[in-house]
Structure 1
Amino acid sequence: MAKDNSFDIVSEVDMQEMDNAVNQTSKEISQRYDFKGSNASITLENENEIKLTGEDDYKLETILDMLRVRMAKRNVPLKCLNPGKIEPASRGTVRQTIKIEKGLSKEKAKDVLAFIKTLKLKVQAQIMDDKIRVTGAKRDDLQAVIQAVKSKDFDIDLQFINMR
């Protein structure tokens, strides 16, 4: 009897690298000339959000751009950031909360699952918590699924792990 092969589709963020990117951005803010004398800051509040503060929308956008550059250098997916709206804060400053999206939401998982079914390959896919397990008899079919899912944009960063 042939043994089924499988792999998992996940959306993960390396939080240590994210913390490093936030710390590097904070250090750059303290050293840049255009931020001298301002109370602009970036902090990693918890595992799920980043808080930005600054004098105006332009400074917040600049901080977010600096963070994205640091994340890209550290291979942290940029699609995991979900910026919230800019809100007024104390002393004439503004703040923004950025959510860090980790794991596959049920809606995104259903979209990926429906896409895999349209491929008409001999594979089975099922949602397991915040990941999708894809199984099939042929490794070539599994490789075809990986290539097809990589080619389609689901607005989240997907990784393919546990290939067996």
Structure 2
Amino acid sequence: MPSFDIVSEIKKDELQNAVDNANRELQSRYDFRGVEAAFTLNKQDLTVKVEADEEFQVQQMDDILRGKLVKRNIEATAAEFGEITRSGKKSIQTVKFKEGIDKDLGKKIIKLIKDSKIKVDAKINDDTVRVSGKKRDDLQAVIALVRGAELSQPLQYNNFRD
């Protein structure tokens, strides 16, 4: 019976490369000369700490980071930009990256599939949604349906098996 998994993953090495490239651009930009500004990646919880002297500089750094993420094929919807806070002489912002499908999003995907009346079966397994059906064309229709829906985070489709 053909099946595939709907997952939400971020390639950690590409994220590291995007942060490194953003730091390199900061060093070469004229408007950041003499400013202590940096991007810091925490790989365990997939967060990037954005630090600069002023709030407007943090906003400029957000644009730099978004550009580098797009160049590395990481969708900007995977990033959740937090509030800019002031800590002493620094302005700090935390950017969290969403990975995995939580229960609410999983239920939303399953409801979307069931409402479409396509003859497939969808189940939540931890942080993935497994879709199985009798026909390959039905599974491809489900992929097209989920791609067309505007969901809160980017999704990938893995383990397509006949």
Query: Taking structure 2 as the reference length, what is the TM-score of the superposition?
Result: 0.96
Query: Does structure 1 residue 85 correspond to structure 2 residue 83?
Result: yes
Paired residue total: 160
Query: Does structure 1 residue 139 correspond to structure 2 residue 99?
Result: no
Partner of 2:97: 100
4+ residue runs over 6 A deviation: none
1:50-72 per-residue CA deviation (whole Å, 9 max, x = no partner) reads: 00011222211111111111111
2: CA distance, partners of 1:58 / 1:155: 27
* Identical counterparts, % of pairs: 38
2: CA distance, partners of 1:21 / 1:81: 13
**Aligned-residue RMSD, C-alpha:** 0.9
Deviation at 1:46, TM superposition (A): 2.7
Q: 5+ unaligned residues in a row in structure 1: which ranges?
A: none
Query: Taking structure 1 as the reference length, what is the TM-score of the superposition?
Result: 0.94
1:8-39 per-residue CA deviation (whole Å, 9 max, x = no partner) reads: 00000001000000000001111100000111
Contact 2:36 2:53 in 1 (8 A): yes
For 1:1-164, list aligned pairs within 5 A: 4-47=1-44, 48-91=46-89, 93-164=90-161
1:82-119 per-residue CA deviation (whole Å, 9 max, x = no partner) reads: 1111111122x210011111111111111111101101
2: CA distance, partners of 1:149 / 1:84: 27
Q: 5+ unaligned residues in a row in structure 2: which ranges?
A: none
